[in-house]
Every structure is written in C-alpha cells, then in structure tokens.
C-alpha cells in the first residue's frame, strides 16, 4: 500500500493537502476565460488597509507576453514551464500613496503572498495546476513587462492542465510527487516562538 506524505495531524479542508505543484504541464492552451477566475480569487485576498498591493502580468501560450516571461526564466524552469498554458508574473507596489505622499508599505510582500495562495487554490478548484517559480532574471523580466517604478517582482507562476509525468525528463520524473511538511510541533510555539 502506498503511503502518502500528506497526512494531517488535524482535520482540515482537503484542498490544502490536495494542491501541489506538478511540473508535468500538458502542452495545451489555456483560455483567458479559464485564467481570469484565478485573478478573481487573488483579488479578494485581505491586505493591510485594503491596499491590494499585488499586480499581475500574464501571457497565454503562443503569444508575445508568454514568450517574454519565458525568456526571463532560468533554464531549469524554462524547460518544463514552457509547456504551461499561461505564465503569470506577480509583483507588488512597495509604497503606499496617501494624500499625494508616498511612504513604504511594510506589508506589500505579505499581502501579495496571500493573494498568490488564493490564486493557487482557485487553480486547484478549477482542475488546473499552478507552479510558482523564483528562478527568473528579475532585471530581464522587469524590462520585458514594463514593471513600473516602485514595484517589486516576486515570482512567475506557470498555470495549465496537468499532463503525463512520463513526458518529463527522467531527473524531474522522480520529483513529480506531492511533498511532505515539517510537523506543527516544530513550527508553532505556545507563548513564544520555538
């Protein structure tokens, strides 16, 4: 009997352990209609002062935007992510504008991570896979996507339909499985951080 590495110690909604980040994209197109609900889910994430600092730029397989984002990926990621249906760059505004005065927003990355989490779970609900990547050239991507002044790039996400793991290079096939997690007992302190 196979033993899943995703056993929980406490009862939670199955979405949290069923979502994972495969690399085996099916080499199929993703329509704009299929992609937009993922941004819609991200849109409703909570943020400090409801500032909504997250920003997204995307390309659909075969279009110029997709090629621009793909060109900024490190070769390891590009090799499998080019088979995704869409590539999405995630950035955030690092400053707040209030009454014409600009000040740093210390929570911009925290809030944008929350939005990405909703995006990923919505992808899972829609029967799609979403795989975030930090392996990209930020200078190349900023230039290619016209990242505005004061914005910070966080990740590129490959989105699409899951394909056959057997189509991945052998080295990646071995890693194509849901991963475990550190136990709560090593993560959560009662009264103080561990």
Binding site for ligand FMN (CB under 6 A): 20-21, 77, 132-135, 155, 178-179
Give the Cα separation of 101 and 167 in Å (integer): 53
Min separation Cβ 11 and ligand FMN, Å: 19
Closest to ligand FMN by CB, 171 vs 194, is 171
Residue nearest to ligand FMN (CB): 135
Pick from 125, 134, 150: which is nearest to 55 by CA? 150
| Cβ proximity to ligand FMN, 77 vs 122, nearer residue | 77
What single string gives the DSSP state of each residue in 122-147?
Answer: HHHHTT-EEEEE--B-HHHHHHHTTP
Report residue 29 as tokens. 């197109």
Q: What is the largest CA-CA distance in the chain?
A: 63
Shortest distance, position 154 Cβ to ligand FMN, whole Å: 7
Whose Cβ is closer to ligand FMN: residue 98's or residue 128's? 128
Cβ of residue 147: shortest distance to ligand FMN, in angstroms?
17
Q: Any idea how long the chain is? A: 194
Single out the residue of 75, 57, 60, 79 nearest to residue 141, CA to CA: 57
Specify the residue, 4 or 179, whose C-beta has the smaller distance to ligand FMN: 179
- Smallest distance from the beta carbon of 33 to ligand FMN, in angstroms? 25
């Amino acid at each position: 009997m196979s033993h899943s590495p995703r056993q929980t110690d406490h009862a939670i909604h199955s979405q949290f352990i069923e979502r994972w980040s495969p690399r085996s994209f099916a080499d199929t197109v993703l329509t704009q209609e299929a992609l937009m609900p993922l941004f819609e889910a991200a849109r409703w994430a909570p943020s400090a002062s409801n500032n909504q600092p997250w920003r997204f730029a995307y390309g659909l397989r075969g279009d110029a935007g997709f090629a621009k984002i793909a060109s900024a990926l490190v070769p390891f990621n590009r090799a499998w992510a080019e088979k995704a249906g869409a590539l999405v760059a995630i950035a955030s505004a690092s400053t707040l504008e209030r009454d014409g005065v600009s000040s740093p927003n210390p929570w911009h990355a925290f809030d944008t991570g929350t939005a990405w989490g909703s995006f990923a779970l919505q992808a899972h609900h829609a029967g799609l896979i979403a795989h975030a990547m930090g392996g990209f050239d930020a200078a190349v991507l900023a230039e290619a996507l016209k990242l505005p002044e004061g914005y910070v790039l966080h990740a590129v996400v490959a989105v699409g339909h899951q394909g056959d793991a057997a189509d991945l290079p052998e080295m990646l096939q071995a890693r194509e499985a849901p991963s475990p997690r550190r136990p709560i007992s090593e993560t959560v302190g009662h009264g103080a951080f561990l």
